[in-house]
Homo-oligomer: A and B are copies of this chain.
């Protein structure tokens, strides 16, 4: 499989943005890692900002699509939560660098990308919360402060990239099961 120069720049930028931060990574840094000159990047991206926004919005779209799949799966709330955990684990493994940017680097998005990103993130979290509430209502989840449970789950899932980076040999399947046990074990009725 041949990876286009554009994709290669994207992956490279994701790695550097993650390691040093968006602002601390210069176009010259990215170019050097690609063995080209900074000006050449502008044949593929119209700005540094576009590199960041394309990375973040792609991840946001993958999560949004994943949520749609889960909600139309017909599973009960607990089953849906399991599917969401698997979604996070898989995206984390497949896009470790890009997903790391979700934790902090999204603040460097400029308009109109920032608004779009926030909208998708907020929708995702709202739908996640809905599933938790439904589970509680159906008696499948024990009584708990929904927004604290939500924030707690999302924190762990958001941070997973960091743990996975230090444990790359951990089998995906096993990681999914452990995450489900850890995150759902405490809230199931």
Seen from chain A, the residues whose Cβ lies within 8 Å of a Cβ on chain B are: 19-24, 103-105, 107-108, 144-145, 147-149, 151-152, 154-156, 158-160, 162-163, 167, 175, 178-179, 181-187
Contacts and interface: CB of A to CB of B under 8 A. Distances in A.
Contacts of A19: 107
B179 A148 contact: yes
Nearest to A167: B147
**Tally of this chain's copies:** 2
Contacts of A152: 156, 179, 182-183
Highest count of chain B CB atoms <10 Å: which of A107, A156, A183: A156
Contacts of A183: 152, 186
Highest count of chain B CB atoms <10 Å: which of A103, A144, A152, A154: A152
A162 B184 CA distance: 22
A158 B154 CA distance: 12
Contacts of A105: 104
A114 to B, nearest CB: 13
Contacts of A24: 23, 108
28 contacts: A20-B107, A21-B23, A21-B107, A24-B108, A103-B104, A144-B185, A145-B178, A145-B182, A147-B163, A148-B163, A148-B175, A148-B182, A151-B159, A151-B160, A151-B162, A151-B163, A152-B156, A152-B179, A152-B182, A152-B183, A155-B156, A155-B159, A155-B160, A182-B187, A183-B186, A184-B186, A185-B187, A186-B186
